[in-house]
């Protein structure tokens, strides 16, 4: 069996996602977009149980999938979904001295992510998550 095309295109697809985040969030570089995406993913995954996290990550493109699980502490306590402004502060807490996440960071990542996933499959997966998790990705 040949290598699936999603793995062959992984780098290009990941940089397209970062470019879309950069543009949606009004950032200057894809390095800034990377930190924003990583922060949003960390905030989101802290609020999921393992089964929901696996379902979510399975709907992501390969590069985003890898970033979602990178540096995930298995013992990290689960948090409740909160007001978006509080969760955005949490996003900004990742590498705070080099984090340029705007107030709209979660929304900006959601908009960009929807451009880079199979929307039908992604929305079907979101419908299986708790309501607050689904609302987190409302663009």
Where exactly are the structural domains of the chain? 7-71+80-136
Would you state the pLDDT for residue 47? 97
| C-alpha distance from residue 71 to each of 64, 97, 133 (Å) | 13, 19, 21
Which CATH class, in words, describes the domain spanning 7-71+80-136?
mainly alpha
What is the maximum span of the chain, computed from C-alpha positions, in angstroms?
A: 47
Residue-wise pLDDT for 53-94, tens only, equals 999 999 999 999 999 999 998 788 999 999 999 999 999 999
Residue-wise pLDDT for 14-48, tens only, equals 999 999 999 999 999 999 999 999 999 999 999 99
Query: In the structure, what pLDDT confidence band is assigned to residue 1 with cuts at 50, 70 and 90?
Result: confident
Quote the CA–CA distance of 100 and 35 in Å, as a whole number: 8
Cβ atoms of 99 and 39 within 8 Å: the answer is yes
Average pLDDT of the residues of the chain: 95
Query: In the structure, what pLDDT confidence band is assigned to residue 114 with cuts at 50, 70 and 90?
Result: very high
Would you state the pLDDT for residue 2? 86
Quote the CA–CA distance of 67 and 54 in Å, as a whole number: 13
């Amino acid at each position: 069996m040949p290598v699936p095309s999603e793995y062959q295109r992984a780098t290009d697809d990941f940089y397209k996602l970062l470019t879309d985040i950069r543009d949606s969030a009004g950032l200057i570089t894809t390095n800034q977009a990377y930190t924003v995406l990583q922060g949003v993913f960390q905030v989101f995954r802290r609020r999921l149980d393992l089964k929901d996290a696996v379902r979510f990550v399975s709907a992501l493109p390969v590069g985003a999938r890898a970033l979602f699980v990178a540096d995930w502490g298995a013992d990290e306590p689960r948090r409740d979904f909160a007001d978006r402004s509080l969760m955005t502060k949490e996003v900004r807490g990742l590498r705070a001295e080099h984090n340029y996440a705007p107030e709209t960071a979660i929304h900006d990542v959601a908009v960009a992510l929807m451009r880079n996933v199979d929307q039908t499959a992604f929305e079907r997966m979101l419908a299986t998550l708790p309501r607050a998790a689904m609302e987190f990705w409302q663009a």
